[in-house]
Structure 1
Amino acid sequence: MTRRDALRAGGVAALAGLAGCTVLPSAPGRAGGGGDDGRDSPVAVASFFSFFDFGRQIADGTPLTVENLVPTGLHGHGWEPNASITQRIIEADAFVHVGEDFQPWADRAIQTIRSDGVDTALINAREGVELVDLAETLDQEEEGVGEQRGLDPHFWLDPQRAKQSVDNIAEGFAAVVPEHADAFRDNAETYSSEVLDRIDRDYEAIFDASDRDIVQLAAHNAFQYIGVRYGVQMRPLVTNLAASGDVKPADIREAAAVIDENDITYIANGVFESQRPAQQLVRETDVVAYFPVTPYAGVREEWVEERWGYEEIADNINMPTFDIVLGNKTPEDAAPSPAWLEQWRNFEPI
């Protein structure tokens, strides 16, 4: 009997201290898998939506089931799960995570798995990815990741860097289910070349088309890799890496100055973040409206129903908004549909 089998039989009472007591608003997503709704197939769980989505693309057509641990409607950075999530990790064949120092609950789970000899395979999606230094716009007390805690963890916003994580996940899955290793690697290559490269080209076209090289965000400091990749300044209003930081009066004043100096009419705001700072900028500056942007860190119910992933969110949320805030197109021309414009112009909180 493996350690995981023993824990299946005896529960996870000994591990309950791993996480807080947050009540899950809804069940995480699942994809792939074989008979009996995947219960008899190998299972991989992911600590973050983007890597769940990459995982399900990689596992397509194989018996491996991939599960998203982050509940619908929540941002993946800063969430503290309850003990049921710990149990899911222990029962899984593999745990896809984002590397140390990004999600404390995941770090604690990994420590427990290692110290207790649990045989859940650990797949670090960040391994081998070249990270950039923390942005100068960060709070001076903010800490990032890496040995010196001075690196920005949000690498997956750059589609080219995201390709390394796709390869990492494919190799991790190949070790867990070796009889399907070729399928995992083929799927990873197809996704990287056909999807991530295409997204990269589309983003590049959007940023190259603009005469403006600055984007004002009423959102947290998660978008630096977009700026690094496409040569644009991403100006966050919330100077924390996580989507939970406070907005100070000085932050509003600085954003107002950027808006005035650059004749900015539209700004971007995080889908899963507070809308109050964006609303304040609309009231107090020449900004007319804000539109949605997301670092692929969470999903809405309708996105789950439509099986949206990294690709669909890039196409239907981020790209139209960047076209608008960069001044490439009017909101009416950039919006995929009139319904999109009605939903997302000065959108309300979830």
Structure 2
Amino acid sequence: MDDYEIGTETERTISRRQALATGGGLLATGLAGCTGLTGSTSSDDSEENSGSEGPVAVASFFSFYDFARELADGTPITVKNLVPTGLHGHGWEPNASVTRDIIEADAFIHVGKDFQPWADRAIQTLKDDDVDTQLINVREGVELVELAASLDPDEEGVGQGRGKDPHFWLDPRRAKTSVDNIADGLAELAPDHEATVRENAETYNSEVLARIDADYQAIFDAADRKVVQLAAHNAFQYIGVRYGVEMRPLVVNLAASGDVKPSDITEAKAVIDEHDIEYIGAGVFETRKPAKQLVAETAVSAYFPVTPYAGVREEWVANDWGYEEIAYNINMPTFEVVLGNKSPEEVGGEGWAEQWRNFE
């Protein structure tokens, strides 16, 4: 079922705690390439059903952590987010504390091959060391779209096969498939609670994701302009594909840490001028320097936040925001504004425009 195959012969499989006790390869390597960033997320930030003695599932990406905790509600399953607060889920390298979390977990929820190299290395080492952590691939069975023609050539190997865009979860309909994949994995992890997990999945897909899809559709249907300029990396194509809008990322590669070239700024200026764009979106977890440059050098009045649901800020954690809350409090208000549907003061509730206009 998964992209990766883990050995299942009883005599060859070692427990996670055996791996820890013997200094197995995964812990010893520390997922080579670490940057020194703290990898484990505190229990205050990332656990559901805290204090449960049931199985533990860890997730390599915020969106799927959030889906999993929704599905685990009412069960003894604990779900943890491995991505630290304030960091983007794509383009960072964890330290050995995340390695330990994966070994100790009963299940590892991941985004499939070739998106998070550290997760790929962890899975390969789990296989090599015959560690019995269950793998849950959220991308299984998801149809990916072709990458934009403007993609940085160095990025062409990213995704499920060459030339595919991995950011599928921005399309609520495709996100439903990942919810189903997580439900299958959690049902296997806690078979006595399968009915609850599957009921939660059905509710989340039919009520939450269906509503988000309809509300996004209404925003884009109401827009006269069909072009959005983003001072962000190439992560929003699925929004464009799903709702018939042209998303113009400033950073044309897939990593949030990608460099902005002078030619990227020049092209963005041309788009802004051609379409009389007054407001643009800027990535919450990316540098705001190019957005500020566009405000200073074009007719753009301000930038407002967008995010591919790949990370969380401290205040979002404090308010228990997940995929749903971020959609309604960050992305939807910004798309209303950048498309010209409404003024900044008309969206997002009282104080939204003041908080997010040219945010730091």
- TM-score normalised by length of structure 2: 0.92
| Matched letter for residue 358 of structure 2 | N
Match of 2:8 in 1: none
Secondary structure in 2 matching 1:66: strand
Matched, 1:32 2:45: no
Conserved 8 A contact 2:114-2:160: no
Question: Which residue, out of 3, 18, 22, partners 2:36?
Answer: 22
Q: What 5-or-longer segments of structure 2 have no aligned partner?
A: 1-12
* CA RMSD across the alignment: 1.5
- Further displaced range: 250-259 or 22-31: 22-31
Counterparts of residues 1-350 of structure 1 (less than 5 Å): 2-11=14-23, 15-17=27-29, 18-19=31-32, 20-24=34-38, 27-28=41-42, 29-33=45-49, 37-38=51-52, 40-146=53-159, 148-338=161-351, 340-348=352-360
Deviations 1:220-275 (A, max 9, x none): 00000000000000000011101011111111010000000000000000000000
- Further displaced range: 129-138 or 270-279: 129-138
Secondary structure in 2 matching 1:141: helix
Identity %: 69
Give distance in 2, aligned partners of 1:263 and 1:71: 38
Q: What 5-or-longer segments of structure 1 have no aligned partner?
A: none
| Matched letter for residue 346 of structure 1 | N
Match of 2:3 in 1: none
| 147 and 21 in structure 1: CA distance in 2 versus 1, 3 angstrom threshold | closer
Q: CA deviation at 1:140?
A: 2.4
Secondary structure in 2 matching 1:86: helix
Q: CA deviation at 1:207?
A: 0.2
Q: CA deviation at 1:342?
A: 1.6
Deviations 1:133-180 (A, max 9, x none): 111121123224456321000000000000000000000011111111
Give distance in 1, aligned partners of 2:161 and 2:201: 31
- The size of the alignment, in residue pairs, is 344
Give distance in 2, aligned partners of 1:60 and 1:85: 24
Secondary structure in 1 matching 2:155: coil
Conserved 8 A contact 2:141-2:177: yes
